[in-house]
Structures are given as structure tokens and as C-alpha cells.
Chains A and B, each alone.
Chain A
Amino acid sequence: MKVRFHRQRPAPADHAGMSRRMFLMTTTLTGVTTACLLGGAGRLSAAALDGGQSATLLRAVQDIYPHPDLLSLAHYQAIVDAVGAGADEDEAKAAALTDGLARLDGLAQSLYGKPYVEVEDPDAREGLLRAFQNEAFFQDVRWTAYFAIYDNKEIWPLFGYEGSSVEHGGYIDRGFSDITFVPQGPTLEERIAQVQQ
């Protein structure tokens, strides 16, 4: 994807502020999750991951597809749970995941002197993840996140996507041509006239 930032582009969104919000939110949740694990309670399904790595993974899935204004932490936690469940079923996968997350933290330590979850700059965190993007463990997490977010019928309305329509008789009476900022298309009579011999 190449983005053309065109002449009519509005002022850039306050993405730094948005990311900061997200960061604070998840840091808080991280504490909660870790506490649950330490207490032996909670819904953390991954035996393969310790609390620290679960927190790293939770931060990572939010950085892979950051939608702080659309999605809740529960959405991201569900992705962590799915990744963890997958790791629990496959020893090699679990080993690759724990090793990968450890190296992610190692890289964060060497570049920023702190673990990945404590790096505040979202661009810096994305940069750390980019170093691992061609590895299978990362793509496994990424595609799990992809399906959990963008192929998730419960999440679609948050993006304005309405999905299947055949059971409702299609979109013919449900807004297929309802926008008002451009002119209407030709009427039926005009369309018939176009094709007359």
C-alpha cells in the first residue's frame, strides 16, 4: 500500500494523543492481567506464557492493529487468549512464541533500556515489531489478530461494515444509493432510454 497524502488532506489527526491514550489504557490492563495470573485466577488460557509475556503479547497485538477508539481491551485480550490457546496445542509453536517475545523484549532492552511494554513511543514499538515481521511466530500472531478483528461479525459494525445482506433482501431497499454529497444516478427511464436501439 502506498498512501498518497493529497493536497486536500485535512490536518493530521492527533495520533500521538490517541496512542498515548491507548498506552495508558493497556498499561493499566496489563497490571490487572498479571494480577489475575499471579492469583491463579482469571481467564488466561496460555500455559505456555508467563504473566510478563502475556502482557508483552497484549501490547503487541494492540500495536499490530491499533484501534484505540474503536476496540476495547477485551477485544485484544481475546486475541491474546486465542494465540495462547494455539500455543498450548502445539509445543513447537509455543516455543517459537516464547522465544520470539523474549527476543522482542531483548531488542527493546538493548535499544531503549526497558522492556517492550514500557516503551512509550508507539512508532518505536512498531519499529521493534517490524524487526520480527518476517518470522513465523509474528505472522501467526498477526493473522490471528487479523481474523479476530476484520473477519469478526461482531466487530464489523464498529467499522461501518454491514456484511451479509441476502437474508435481508439485499441492499436494494437498505441504502445502496443513499448518499447525498454527489448527484443521483440516472433514473430508470433514463437508463431504459440509453439502451434503446
Chain B
Amino acid sequence: MATFDLNNDGVVVIIGSGAGGGTLANELAQKGIDVVVLEAGKRFDLGDIENDEWAMFNKISWLDKRISAGGWHGAVNHPSLPTWIVKGFGGSTIHWAGVSLRYKEYELKTRTTYGEITDANVEDWPIDLDELVPWYEKAELKMGVTGRTTGMPHLPWNNGFRVLAEGCRRTGRKNYNSGPMAINSVERDDRPACQQIGFCMQGCAIGAKWSTMYTELPRAEDTGHCEIRTDAMALMIEHDASGKVTGVVYADAEGNRQRQKARLVCVAGNSIESPRLLLNSASTMFPDGLANSSGQVGRNYMTHATAGCYAVLPEKVHMFRGTAVAGIVGDEVRNDPARGFKGGYTLEFLSLGLPFMAAFLEPGNTGWGRSVARALEQYDRMSGVWVVGEDLAQEQNRITLHDSEVDQYGLPVPIVAKTPHNNDTEMVNHAYEVTAEIYESVGATDVYELPAYPATHNMGTNRMHADPSKGVVNAYGQSHDIANLFVSDGSQFTSSGACNPTLTIVALAIRQAEYIAREMSANNI
């Protein structure tokens, strides 16, 4: 691994080592561009991965102080855990399940498709699907996504998904399968085939699932053009009198403040930390925070309209055997306002281990007693889904900074406010009903409806928009206000779609790397 001097102002500084930051770092380093990655968490490797839900939660989660606010149940039931993401080498690509869906064209053009929606702030992306497809293909090849692009077959169907799939067949659905997943179904790219271990979201113990931890990051280091500093928490981005960013102040492992100079800065700290860093970098010149002339930094926080739904079948299922998300149902991903809501949702088979099922079946202080215990005695006969529905952007769903409380770095604690739109509520209720129908058709008796989990899909807080007054960054993730400041994570998403964000984050990062290399060569940045 290369090392770069703190005063080297020719480097690209990337904040975060997950899907966005890790991919961007490798793409730039492969082109010979010098990169310093600042990762707030520890360095992990495969030896740190255990098949244990709580042990891994405690080991890898981002547990710095955060305040969960707004009208969603988590403000009460998960008051300090609004999100479920990773602090560490590889970021949330350690935790993600591998689902690699593309946006649909209408999901990128939500304002045009849905029109104006009361109490929402829905806009079009400044990119259309045709433009994204080649980048999706590059991402699929990089990550090893099962399906036509790679020619890698989808994974074999496990028990839990077979129950769901049969229910789909009996209720006339057509679009259900065990992919596309960024999990090797055959040995590929120096990584083994999936062994149906389960615990995908605790980190894949053999590296069959794509994660930047053992792909992009070590490969970037091997180029000699990338230095990754772990335990390096970015505190503030600095700028000069012309308004160009000049470097990043960060806390190192000993808590000492360091200043890494930079030619450009790319923010990829996930949708809480990225806007938080821009807001914390406010200056006399930029009193509302960096890149915030639109006032949209931190706003339009989207998770997904989401829920869990678990059915009890007449026979044993043992849903925990095999991949965590073993199948995807796409029939409900369409904009059909006759259903009572705009946009659509994906149903994804998701197994939970007994510990997490017992914690999330009924989260909060009320989750005990005879009904909960009775449900848990049916654990080995359960199959269920996670609902991934389009969540509408709303300005008031946002990240703000606490005015007095600070974290261990002395930074104001972020307040993460989320109130579901009526559209979300209608959609989730529809998803509960559809899921119950699907499982009833295969003999389900009781069906349990779970509320949203702390969000792993966090999007929108530095969104793209063609109009600088309505968004923070342009179609390349470049700040409208500051040419050498980029956003490289899911916070640049304009809409949430009904798909897991990682594939799109990676596709955008590959595209952004091309753009940055071009603009650097042309000396535009």
C-alpha cells in the first residue's frame, strides 16, 4: 500500500470505504490517480466474520450516538438506532444481502410519472435508464451479479424461498426468482461459490458475496496508488478563499486531529454522515454548510417504505438454512395508482435467525408476553419477506445537527427524522395483504406483520438534480456549488425506487470515476 504525505495536495480524498467510496477508490487507483481513503471504522478481514447475529451487530455496526426522530415507530422503539449500517473497512457492503436490482425508468422519472404529490418533494433524476445501463453492466461484471450480464446462474432455491415462490405461482405471479444477487453461484473472480451458509448480513464468511472489504479495497491498495487509513473519522472539509475545497480534517486512531490536503474530496459516508459532514463544515463563506446553496443538504432523507411479514406454514421450513435473501418477487414493482399509492414495491424473502426474530417481531418495550412467545415457538415453520417499497422524498425527513449534544469526536450528534408519507403507509398495507395472500395459498395459518427495521437503505440527503436550486449535486455527483467536491454514495439518489441501492451506488461510482479522471486530465478540477 502506498503512503501519502498529509501535505500532498495532489491526492483525491475519499471519505468512506463502502459501496461508493470503495468502488471509487479502486476505479481511480486503477487509472493511476493517487487516492487517500479515510475510513472511520476499524480494518476488518474475513477472519472477523462470525455466524452470530448479535456478535456481529456489536462488532461492525455504526453505534455512535444518533437520535432517531419523526413519526416512525423507531423514534420510540429504536431511539438511538435510526439506521443499521456498518462502521468499518468495507462499510455496509459487509452487511448488505447482495440483492442487485436496477432502477426502472419510471423510478428515475418520478416527478414526470407521478406529478406533484402533496407533502412530498418528488423530482426526476438528471439521468435516464438508457444512460445508466452500460454502467449497470460494468457494476454487475465487477460485483459478480447472477444473471444475463455475467452468465452466472441464479442461486439454488432454499426452503424459505420455495414456499414463497409456490405461493407466487398459485396466486398468478410471474416475476419471482433467486436473483439477481451479487453472490457467486460458481467460483468467480478469485472468490468461491456460495455454500448456503446463511448469515449473509453478518458478513459472508467465505467471501462469496461481493464486498469492498475483499475486492475493491485490497485491489486499490495493490496498485500503489491508494492509501486506506482506518480509524480515521472525517470531522470537517476545508476550503480556500476561492471556495474550492483544500483538504479534510480528521481524527486518527489516537484521537489526534490530522489535516490531509486534497486536490478533490469525495464524500461517501452514507446518507447520515455525508450530509452531516457537509453541515459540520459550515464556514463564513458557506454559513449553511458546504454545497448547500439549494438548502437541500440533509433533506429528502429516504429509507424505503418497508416492513417485514412472516407466515407460519403447516410444516417445518427452517428458513435460516441458506442465503438470507434467497429470492425476489418483482410483480408489484409498477406504478399503478389504482392500488391507492404511487410507485411499487419488491418483496424479498429474508430469513432472520431466532435472536433477531425475537427482537424484531415486536420491537420496543411491548415485545414480550404470550403472543410473542407463541409466535416464536413457530419459528421453524416460518417463511417471510422484507418489503422494499418506493419511499417518497419529503423535505422534512432530514438530518440535522443537535444544538448541544456532541459525540466522542466532539461533533454535534445527528438527529435523523423520518415520518412516513401516507403513500408509504398505503403501500405497506398493500404489501402486508399481498404477502398474506401469497402465503395463505400454500397453507399459512398465522401471519405476523413487523414494522420497519432500523434502516440499512439510506438515501437522498445530498440529492442529484439538474437544477442547482433543487438539488445538491449534478448527474455525476459533483457539487453544483464547489467543482472539486463530490458525493459518491446513496445520498445522491433523487428517488429511492423499489430496489436495494448498492448496485446503483456502484454503477454511479464507476461512472463518476470516469468523469473525475476526464475532468482532472482536462484540468477542470
Contact between B197 and A171, CB atoms less than 8 A apart: yes
* Min distance, Cβ A147 to any Cβ of chain B, angstroms: 8
Contact between A176 and B322, CB atoms less than 8 A apart: yes
Instruction: Pick the residue among A130, A181, A191 that contacts B154 (CB under 8 A).
Output: A191
Instruction: Pick the residue among B157, B197, B322, B379 that contacts A159 (CB under 8 A).
Output: B379
Residue of A67, A162, A177 contacting most chain B CB atoms (<10 Å): A177
Contact between A177 and B374, CB atoms less than 8 A apart: no
Instruction: Pick the residue among A10, A67, A175 that contacts B373 (CB under 8 A).
Output: A67
Interface string of B301-318 (1 = CB under 8 A from A): 000000000000111111
Residue of B157, B321, B368 contacting most chain A CB atoms (<10 Å): B368
Instruction: Pick the residue among A65, A146, A183 that contacts B359 (CB under 8 A).
Output: A146
A110 at the interface (CB under 8 A from B): no
Residues of A within 8 A of B377 (CB): 67, 69-70, 159
Contact between A66 and B158, CB atoms less than 8 A apart: no
Nearest chain A residue, comparing its CB with the CB of B441? A8
Residues of A within 8 A of B205 (CB): 166
Contact between B447 and A3, CB atoms less than 8 A apart: yes
Contact between B354 and A156, CB atoms less than 8 A apart: yes
Contact between B147 and A8, CB atoms less than 8 A apart: no
A64 at the interface (CB under 8 A from B): yes
Nearest chain A residue, comparing its CB with the CB of B379? A159
Cα–Cα distance between A7 and B443 once the two chains are bound (Å): 10
A109 at the interface (CB under 8 A from B): no
- Chain B, 50-80, CB within 8 A of any chain A CB: 50-54
B161 at the interface (CB under 8 A from A): yes
B13 at the interface (CB under 8 A from A): no
* Min distance, Cβ B412 to any Cβ of chain A, angstroms: 27
Cα–Cα distance between A194 and B52 once the two chains are bound (Å): 34
B166 at the interface (CB under 8 A from A): yes
Nearest chain A residue, comparing its CB with the CB of B165? A185
Instruction: Pick the residue among B166, B321, B368 that contacts A176 (CB under 8 A).
Output: B321
Contact between B196 and A172, CB atoms less than 8 A apart: yes
Cα–Cα distance between A158 and B522 once the two chains are bound (Å): 66
Residues of B within 8 A of A146 (CB): 358-359, 368
Residues of A within 8 A of B450 (CB): 1
* Min distance, Cβ B321 to any Cβ of chain A, angstroms: 4
Cα–Cα distance between A186 and B54 once the two chains are bound (Å): 34
Instruction: Pick the residue among A4, A151, A169, A179 that contacts B195 (CB under 8 A).
Output: A169
Residues of B within 8 A of A167 (CB): 51
A17 at the interface (CB under 8 A from B): no
Residues of A within 8 A of B152 (CB): 195
Nearest chain A residue, comparing its CB with the CB of B323? A176
Residues of A within 8 A of B313 (CB): 181
Contact between B197 and A170, CB atoms less than 8 A apart: yes
Interface string of A102-116 (1 = CB under 8 A from B): 000000000000000
Cα–Cα distance between A166 and B368 once the two chains are bound (Å): 31
Residues of A within 8 A of B166 (CB): 182-183
Residues of B within 8 A of A41 (CB): none
Interface string of A25-68 (1 = CB under 8 A from B): 00000000000000000000000000000000000000111110
Contact between A166 and B206, CB atoms less than 8 A apart: yes
Residues of B within 8 A of A10 (CB): 445
Contact between A197 and B380, CB atoms less than 8 A apart: no
Residues of B within 8 A of A70 (CB): 377
In the complex, number of A-B residue pairs with CB atoms less than 8 Å apart:
210
Residues of A within 8 A of B206 (CB): 166
> A182-B162, A183-B166 given as contacts; is B54 within 8 A of A171 (CB)?
no
Cα–Cα distance between A151 and B322 once the two chains are bound (Å): 20
Contact between A8 and B198, CB atoms less than 8 A apart: no
A92 at the interface (CB under 8 A from B): no
Contact between B373 and A195, CB atoms less than 8 A apart: no
How many B residues face the partner with a CB closer than 8 A? Answer: 77
Cα–Cα distance between A172 and B151 once the two chains are bound (Å): 22
* Min distance, Cβ B290 to any Cβ of chain A, angstroms: 41
> A3-B447, A169-B195, A185-B156 given as contacts; is B318 within 8 A of A160 (CB)?
yes
Contact between A163 and B353, CB atoms less than 8 A apart: yes
Interface string of A64-89 (1 = CB under 8 A from B): 11110110000000000000000000
Contact between A183 and B162, CB atoms less than 8 A apart: yes
Nearest chain A residue, comparing its CB with the CB of B362? A1
Residue of A126, A130, A134, A175 contacting most chain B CB atoms (<10 Å): A175
Instruction: Pick the residue among B156, B362, B379 that contacts A160 (CB under 8 A).
Output: B379
Contact between A176 and B158, CB atoms less than 8 A apart: yes
Residues of B within 8 A of A69 (CB): 377
Contact between B156 and A177, CB atoms less than 8 A apart: yes
Residues of B within 8 A of A7 (CB): 440
Contact between A66 and B373, CB atoms less than 8 A apart: yes
Nearest chain A residue, comparing its CB with the CB of B152? A195
Residues of A within 8 A of B524 (CB): none
Nearest chain B residue, comparing its CB with the CB of A66? B373
Cα–Cα distance between A196 and B147 once the two chains are bound (Å): 8
Contact between B51 and A171, CB atoms less than 8 A apart: no
Contact between A182 and B442, CB atoms less than 8 A apart: yes
Instruction: Pick the residue among B53, B321, B370 that contacts A66 (CB under 8 A).
Output: B370
Contact between B449 and A179, CB atoms less than 8 A apart: no
* Min distance, Cβ A8 to any Cβ of chain B, angstroms: 6
Cα–Cα distance between A179 and B442 once the two chains are bound (Å): 13
* Min distance, Cβ B449 to any Cβ of chain A, angstroms: 4
B516 at the interface (CB under 8 A from A): no
Contact between A8 and B445, CB atoms less than 8 A apart: yes
B282 at the interface (CB under 8 A from A): no
Contact between B322 and A177, CB atoms less than 8 A apart: yes
Cα–Cα distance between A19 and B156 once the two chains are bound (Å): 42
Residues of B within 8 A of A166 (CB): 51, 195, 197, 199, 205-206
Cα–Cα distance between A188 and B146 once the two chains are bound (Å): 13
Residues of A within 8 A of B11 (CB): none
Interface string of A143-173 (1 = CB under 8 A from B): 0011101110000100111111111011110
B320 at the interface (CB under 8 A from A): yes
Residues of A within 8 A of B165 (CB): 182, 185
Top 8 nearest A-B pairs (CB, nearest first) are A185-B157, A160-B380, A170-B195, A164-B51, A1-B362, A150-B358, A176-B322, A170-B197
With A3-B448, A130-B366, A179-B159 given, can you name 9 additional A-B contacts, CB distance below 8 Å?
A: A4-B432, A70-B377, A134-B365, A151-B53, A159-B377, A165-B321, A170-B194, A179-B162, A182-B163
Q: List 15 A-B contacts (CB under 8 A).
A: A3-B449, A4-B432, A70-B377, A123-B370, A150-B355, A161-B379, A166-B51, A175-B318, A178-B318, A185-B156, A185-B162, A191-B154, A194-B153, A195-B150, A195-B153
